[in-house]
């Protein structure tokens, strides 16, 4: 194999690697977007659950406090379990809200980088691939010129 043949093979291999890279990273980028959507949906589902728990807890606490007021003389009604459940639901909701805010901020920041990367995959990388193919074509043309000249 001549030097020019080796160059052509090397460039063809590089071209194939660039095409594979573009497809594989496109999938990576799509999965990244999916992960963000799934995480947001999971947090929203958790928030929905804890909002329902909070409503139940508040209703239970209200009933309990009514019973406690009616039975004030006996003093036998303990509402602390309801109060703890309400407090736990509030804490969970607050925790989820903070994570939602943080994810919104970080996803927004990430959006710019992701957009540039998508542009790279859709426009920049195909240009690089075309450039490599053009180099292969010019080397092949040079080889065709060289071949007859090297004959006796």
Partner 1 sequence: MTGRPDQDGDHNLRLLGDAWDQAAEHWRDGTARQFGEDQLTPLLHESRGYLEALRKLMDTLEAADRDTESPPGSGRE
List contacts with partner 1 (CB under 8 A): 3, 6-7, 9-11, 13-14, 16-18, 20-21, 24-25, 28-29, 31-32, 35-36, 39, 42-43, 45-46, 49-50, 92, 95-96, 99, 102-103, 106-107, 109-110, 113-114, 116-117, 120, 124-125, 128, 131-132, 135
Q: In the bound complex, what is the minimum distance in angstroms from residue 144's beta carbon to partner 1? A: 18
- Other CB atoms within a 10 A radius of the CB of residue 104 amount to 11
Q: In the bound complex, what is the minimum distance in angstroms from residue 100's beta carbon to partner 1? A: 8
- CA 44 to CA 39: how far, in whole Å? 9
Contacts 24+ apart (CB under 8 A), 114-119: 114/29, 114/32, 114/33, 117/25, 117/29, 118/29
């Amino acid at each position: 194999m001549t030097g020019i043949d080796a160059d052509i093979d090397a460039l063809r291999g590089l071209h194939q690697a660039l095409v594979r890279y573009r497809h594989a990273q496109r999938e990576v980028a799509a999965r990244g977007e999916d992960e963000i959507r799934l995480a947001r949906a999971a947090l929203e589902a958790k928030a929905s659950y804890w909002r329902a728990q909070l409503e139940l807890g508040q209703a239970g606490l209200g009933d309990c406090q009514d019973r406690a007021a009616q039975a004030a003389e006996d003093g036998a009604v303990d509402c602390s379990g309801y109060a703890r459940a309400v407090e736990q639901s509030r804490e969970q909701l607050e925790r989820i809200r903070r994570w939602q805010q943080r994810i919104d901020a970080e996803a927004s920041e990430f959006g710019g980088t992701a957009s540039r990367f998508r542009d790279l995959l859709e426009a920049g990388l195909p240009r690089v691939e075309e450039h490599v193919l053009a180099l292969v074509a010019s080397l092949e043309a040079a080889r065709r010129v060289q071949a007859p000249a090297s004959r006796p």
